[in-house]
Amino acid sequence: MADDPLAPPAALAGDVTVPPAVAGAEPVQSVCTPIRLSYTYTPGRALSRYLQAMAGKRILGERCGVTGQVFVPPRGVSPLAGTTTAGVVELADTGYVDSFNITRVPIERRPDLKPPYCSAWIVLDGASVGFMGLVINIPPEEVRIGMRVRAVWKPDDELETSAANIGGWEPTGEPDEVIDDYERLGRVGGQQP
């Protein structure tokens, strides 16, 4: 019905005529169009310090001189105060799961990520913000918000200047954080300027 506003347009309904050379062929219905951007990434001074510390199995954050918040990974500036950070802070490699996601669909070219796996927003002890990590050595179904975790570092002879030195985060077995005060937990001096 030409007047039916919900009817698909002819061009999408398959109501097209094709030349003989195409008519008998199995129709193409999809096409792969990969997009690829290849960069040389220069992390800058703050992230370079962070990555170099990673080679020694240390995690560096930076403290905001205005609010006292501690940011990791450090960017050299405080995103809330808009100032350069006041100093470098070494953080523990323990923290808790702030939120998480279980992935059940494989990602092409990431055969190292075997579904189901759990990626989580992890707040380190002493940090004011979380960062991304994999939760490992526990069935994904048993991961929960507030669960205490510690970094699982790669073997010493595989360490690089890379955040990939942390292969994942495993449960410590400590009692869960009770997240009844979201602004306080793990968020040092969380006052906004």
Partner 1 sequence: MASEVLQAPLVLEYPFTRSTGPVIGAFLTGLREGVICGIRRADGTVLCPPLEYDPLTAEPLTELVEVGQSGEVLTWAWNGEPRPMQPFDRPFAWALIRLDGADTSMLHAVFADSPSDMSTGMRVRAVWRSEREGHIADIAGFDPDPDPAGLS
Which residues have CB under 8 Å from 5's CB, separation 6+? none
What 8-state DSSP symbol labels residue 116? S
Q: Which stretch binds partner 1 (CB under 8 A): 7-15, 73-81, 135-143, 169-177?
A: 7-15
Contacts to partner 1 from residues 39-58, by CB under 8 A:
39-43, 45, 47-49, 51-52
Cα separation, 126 vs 69, in Å, equals 9
Min dist. Cβ of residue 38 to partner 1 (A): 5
Examine residue 4 and tell whether it contacts partner 1 (CB under 8 A): no
Q: Which of 45, 79, 49, 48 is nearest to 64 (CA)?
A: 79
Q: Which stretch binds partner 1 (CB under 8 A): 26-34, 93-101, 121-129, 149-157?
A: 26-34
| Radius of gyration over every alpha carbon of the chain, rounded to an integer in angstroms | 24
Select from 3, 4, 6, 38 the one that contacts partner 1 (CB under 8 A): 38
Cα separation, 80 vs 63, in Å, equals 12
Binding site for partner 1 (CB under 8 A): 9-19, 21-22, 25-43, 45, 47-49, 51-52, 108-109, 161-162
